[in-house]
Structure 1
Amino acid sequence: LAQWFSNPGSRPSGGSRELKNGKSEGIKSSAQLLSRSVTYNDKLHLASYKVSYRVAKEKAPHTIAERLILPAALDIVNTVLDEKASEKLKLIPLSDNTVSRRIVDIAQNLEEQLIARLKSAKDFAIQLDESTDVASSATLLVYVRYIWQGEFLEDLLCCLTLPSSTSGAHIFEQLNAFITKSGLDWANCKGITSDGAANLTGKNSGVVRRIKDAAGQNIVWYHCFIHREALASKGIPPELEIVMRDTVKVVNYIKGSALNSRLFEALCVEMGAEHKHLLFHTDVRWLSKGRVLSRVYELRDEIRIGLAFLTDKLSPLASQFSDEKWLLTLSYLADIFSVLNELNLKLQGREDNIFRHCEQIQAFQKSLELWQLRLKTASYYMFPTMMKRIEENDVPNESVAGLTRLIQSHLDALMGKFSRYFPQAKFDELKDKRWVKNPFDFETPDSIAELNLTPSEESEMIQLTSDNTLKTRHKTEKLSSFWIGLFTEYPMLSKASISLLLPFTTTYMCETGFSVLTKMKTKQRNKLNASPDMRVALSSCEPAWDQIMQNKQAHPSH
């Protein structure tokens, strides 16, 4: 040992190498441990995001993750695997505030993806509507349609809270601020669809007018087909209105009391009725008058007996359910409003098409004209409930003749209303664009010459209609996809077709969006900032988890 200290050169070199190797292995071991720790925390972090994503997709309260999902997952893992595995799940951060932050991060990513797509697509169309939520807060929903990967895609553009007034100026101010912040250009907006509210459609200060001014061009505006159909269906003759009003009173009396509802249900069960409950009537178009009236007619005997022992207040109405003339009128109302409900349903749905919706309206208008002719020959096949009533009961001829005059009056009123809200001039304008629906109906030079196309469009039309391969594609592809796919080869025809097909024809998606908002923002969650949750719940984009996780610090704490 003394020699070792006195003569450093004689020290053995192996110990130095062992010391160095030990330090190197220690460093490597520490690095591996740190790497495993970071990777593990990243997995916990990602799991937290994915659970939060599912919570928002289900429109559920944020607390459900910590109170239900995590305990359920622990029970499953502890039962199927082992307790050690379940201990790892306890480190996933799923507190109320954490889930809220995660949803905000996911919503931001989805919004960035949507804006990037819109900038790439350039042209877009919007539908917008405003309503009031449970907290009396005014909310504006805006949906957008754009071209992405050869298809029309529809997505929630924004959910904006209107802090004060819902005037056209305030709505446009909020919407324009979002468009400006996102880097979008109103000049690329090719269509606007809304209801007929003055703050949206006002000639001088409505939102549509302001968007057109901002875009510097005349953008196509459509009054929602569903709103127009609902408005056109409202007016009925006074004699029919009386029966409608009496029916509503009966329904409200039975449904408005829990005791009356239970007693009526017991009566229906005892009498072997197919249905046990009545339906509430509302002016909201999503709940059809046809369904309400049909249910009342089906349960007419049960209602007559039920009213007799439930109350004396409605005894005059109870007697109406024994009046053959009154019941005959009710049967007609059930039939006609069921038909109107079917038309309303045909106008609902995604991927609306201006040609399809116009054809459905025109078909209904033609039906009204045909029914008028049939009534003159005492044919009632178009009203099956009423016809069955006449055939199975001894209805006086005077009652049938009187109701026939009422029906004619009602059908005349419907024809006038539909002509007002769906003017023939608009259908005539669409006739000039009928080649968009099927260009192969115009294969001859004479038929092409009648289309009022530009010289460039005529040249492309001749080439297009001579291509049998495209003719086959037209039969199998969606109309929008067909024209989008021809943009490179036939740019003039494709651009004209897309500009016609791109705008929405209804505000159906806004209406369904408000239904989601109602489910999401309840009395118990009336302070919720619903915009991020609405974005995640309604977006058609998928979260880019790698981007979301980037630069996000992972830690197991709540």
Structure 2
Amino acid sequence: MTEVNTCLEKLQLKWDKLAGVTTDGCPNLTGKNVGLLKRMQDKVTEINPEQKLTFLHCIIHQEVLCKTVLKMNHVVDVVTKVVNFIRARALNHRQFVALLEESESGHGDVGYHCTVRWLSLGKVLKSVWDLRDQIQDFCAQKGHAIPEFSDEEWVADLGFAVDVTALMNELNVKLQCKGVFVHEMYCAVKAFMRKLQLLSNQVKERVLTHLPTLKAATKAADRLQKYSKMLNALHGEFLRRFQDFKNLESEMQLVSSPFSCSVENAPSDVQMELIDLQSDPLLAEHFRSVSLLEFYSSLKEESFPHMRRHAQRILVLFGSTYVCEQTFSVMKFNKSKHRSSITDEHLSAVLRIATSDIQPDFNALVKAQNRLDYSH
């Protein structure tokens, strides 16, 4: 709390402007009595008793945690051991890469799986699936046979894991995009949950159109019932974990779809303004032709003060902590042992550019630099 307070003072940010806090969900942050969020709410309440903060658990972090309900450790552990056997020994690695070049498999190598990298598991599972014959032959030659690769049930589980992680990686990439508002992230999650329901029902009916790897791995009806239950369990885990976003859904809809939401269900302070908004055809046309930020910025303060304030509070919320993860990755890459002389000022500039979606005006920068050179 002391560090947060110091940071706000340094950046000259006011506590009464704080709308919400997004965390990774660890207990020392979210504790109800002495956690950071409780202390931040108490600090805000001292200034304005009516102000309530919105607390969210990073949507990407929750999505990654959801896959633990699939209980695919018996697949991931074997794949990890196989990859480590090939990659951790230099001779094995060189010989395996040479084998792939000779067989013209289309893959140049297999990658490591790292638990802190959100997309790595799906990519590793896919590469092992594509190269399973070459891997099995290579390991057998090395006296390191892999019996699981000959087990039909395990291979079917691997195929299922490849398809599910591919779908989750697709969702993950959507959630990592820059400039995505919290309601757009939650819409992507809701769409994914509907896909899980569809897949669960289709697998139960032995329809594997959207699970091509599983389709190639097995046709046993008894196994398909198991996978249908696993997809259903994954859907239930998504429902359980995203309650904080679910509680905010009506407020997000009011901002993202103001012309279609119900006036009766809207907060009382915006109901009259919402009626005026929905009754104006020019504003409806303007809403369809510009971005959300431009639309709410164009609303007159004297006519729609509560609507503007409500939009401000929702649009400034962070749906994830991805910008923090991205900053740490960029910092680790730039502040390496090979660049030990980089200054804090230059590092700060690099991080600012890497995590910003503002497009620089290069022509203006060049002209300014030229004028500076001429003056010297």
**How far did 1:498 drift?**
1.6
8 Å contact kept, 1:243–1:330: yes
Q: SS at 1:192's partner residue?
A: strand
State how far apart, in whole Å, the 2-side matches of 1:190 and 1:534 are. 29
State how far apart, in whole Å, the 1-side matches of 2:271 and 2:225 are. 52
Q: SS at 2:208's partner residue?
A: coil
**How far did 1:182 drift?**
4.1
State how far apart, in whole Å, the 1-side matches of 2:258 and 2:214 are. 44
Counterpart for residue 24 of structure 2: 195
Counterpart for residue 77 of structure 2: 245
Q: Which has the higher contact order (CA 8 A, sep 6+)?
A: 1
8 Å contact kept, 2:186–2:245: no
**How far did 1:284 drift?**
1.6
Over residues 197-249 of structure 1, what are the superposed CA-to-partner deviations in whole Å (9 max), with x where a residue is unaligned? 22322223333222222222431111110001011112333xx4222211111
Q: SS at 2:19's partner residue?
A: strand
Q: Which residue among 414, 439, 443 is the counterpart of 2:258?
A: 439
**How far did 1:263 drift?**
0.5
8 Å contact kept, 2:203–2:225: no
Q: Which residue among 217, 224, 227 is the counterpart of 2:61?
A: 227
The TM-score normalised by the length of structure 1 is 0.59
State how far apart, in whole Å, the 2-side matches of 1:367 and 1:384 are. 15
Counterpart for residue 381 of structure 1: 209
Q: SS at 1:278's partner residue?
A: coil
State how far apart, in whole Å, the 1-side matches of 2:34 and 2:265 are. 37
**How far did 1:346 drift?**
1.4
State how far apart, in whole Å, the 1-side matches of 2:106 and 2:230 are. 31
Counterpart for residue 125 of structure 2: 293
- Structure 2: which 5+ residue stretches go unaligned? 46-50, 370-375
Q: Tell me if 1:509 matches 2:329.
A: no
Counterpart for residue 164 of structure 1: none
Counterpart for residue 2 of structure 2: 173
Amino acid at match of 1:411: L
Q: Which residue among 300, 310, 319 is the counterpart of 1:496?
A: 310
Amino acid at match of 2:206: A
Q: SS at 2:118's partner residue?
A: coil
Counterpart for residue 12 of structure 2: 183
Q: Tell me if 1:535 matches 2:348.
A: yes
Equivalent residues in 2 for 1:374-413 (5 A)? 374-390=202-218, 400-413=220-233
8 Å contact kept, 2:64–2:118: no
Over residues 535-555 of structure 1, what are the superposed CA-to-partner deviations in whole Å (9 max), with x where a residue is unaligned? 31233587999xxx9xxxxxx
Equivalent residues in 2 for 1:70-469 (5 A)? 172-216=1-45, 217-237=51-71, 240-309=72-141, 311-312=142-143, 314-315=144-145, 317=146, 319-390=147-218, 400-423=220-243, 426-427=245-246, 429-431=248-250, 433-441=252-260, 447-448=262-263, 450-454=264-268, 457-469=270-282
Q: 1:284 to 1:178 in 2, by over 3 A?
A: closer
State how far apart, in whole Å, the 2-side matches of 1:222 and 1:533 are. 33
Amino acid at match of 2:279: S
State how far apart, in whole Å, the 2-side matches of 1:232 and 1:200 are. 20
**How far did 1:428 drift?**
5.3
Over residues 429-477 of structure 1, what are the superposed CA-to-partner deviations in whole Å (9 max), with x where a residue is unaligned? 42355232122225xxxx43x23342x6333222222322222221122
State how far apart, in whole Å, the 2-side matches of 1:365 and 1:251 are. 32
**How far did 1:307 drift?**
0.8
Q: Determine which structure has more spread, i.e. the larger CA radius of gyration.
A: 1
Q: 1:182 to 1:415 in 2, by over 3 A?
A: closer
8 Å contact kept, 2:21–2:55: yes
The TM-score normalised by the length of structure 2 is 0.85
State how far apart, in whole Å, the 2-side matches of 1:506 and 1:297 are. 31
8 Å contact kept, 2:27–2:35: yes
Amino acid at match of 2:253: R
8 Å contact kept, 2:56–2:245: no
Over residues 380-402 of structure 1, what are the superposed CA-to-partner deviations in whole Å (9 max), with x where a residue is unaligned? 12211121344xxxxxx6xx234
**How far did 1:420 drift?**
2.0
State how far apart, in whole Å, the 2-side matches of 1:204 and 1:223 are. 18
Q: 1:436 to 1:388 in 2, by over 3 A?
A: same
**How far did 1:261 drift?**
1.2
**How far did 1:491 drift?**
1.4
Amino acid at match of 2:162: A
Q: SS at 2:332's partner residue?
A: helix
Q: 1:441 to 1:371 in 2, by over 3 A?
A: same
Over residues 229-277 of structure 1, what are the superposed CA-to-partner deviations in whole Å (9 max), with x where a residue is unaligned? 011112333xx42222111110111011221111111111111101020
Q: SS at 1:221's partner residue?
A: strand
Q: SS at 2:94's partner residue?
A: helix
**How far did 1:178 drift?**
3.0
Q: Which residue among 470, 476, 485 is the counterpart of 2:283?
A: 470
Structure holding more strand per residue? 1
8 Å contact kept, 1:440–1:465: yes
Q: 1:329 to 1:485 in 2, by over 3 A?
A: same
State how far apart, in whole Å, the 2-side matches of 1:207 and 1:534 are. 28
Q: 1:441 to 1:372 in 2, by over 3 A?
A: same
Q: SS at 2:32's partner residue?
A: coil
Q: 1:232 to 1:484 in 2, by over 3 A?
A: same
Amino acid at match of 1:270: E
